[in-house]
Amino acid sequence: MEVKINTQSFDDKEMLNDALSTQKFLTGDYNAFASECAHPAVRDEFMNILNEEHQIQQDIFTEMQKRGWYQVEAAEQQKVDQAKQKYTNESPAQGSN
């Protein structure tokens, strides 16, 4: 029986892209776990982990941007202002003091 070993390797860009995708999935899962906890201490711990995972995700994103591997187009200021206005008007906490 012959066993073939896959010798394909990932370059830095592929590894960081994979790591970023993984972090996106992890944060989604931890968010779901935290929102479904019945015990406050467990929920708090999931929230701590979620925050750490978001920080890791941000670090990977920042590194990819520095290397030119994840470029985002800046939004036009008018569109930013429109979105702010839209979501400010839809805020459920508005006027509930």
Encode pLDDT of 14-49 as tens digits. 999 999 999 999 999 999 999 999 999 999 999 999
Instruction: Please give, one letter per residue, the 3-state secondary structure of 49-97.
Output: HHHHHHHHHHHHHHHHHHCCCCCCCCCCHHHHHHHHHHHHHCCCCCCCC
Domain ranges (residues) in the chain: 12-89
pLDDT of residue 91: 63
pLDDT of residue 57: 96
| pLDDT band of 72, cuts 50, 70, 90 | confident
pLDDT over 90, % of the chain: 65
| pLDDT band of 8, cuts 50, 70, 90 | confident
Instruction: For residue 93, give both structure tokens.
Output: 């906490």
Higher pLDDT, 6 or 55: 55
Establish how many alpha carbons lie within 13 A of residue 45's alpha carbon, considering only the half-sphere containing its beta carbon: 5
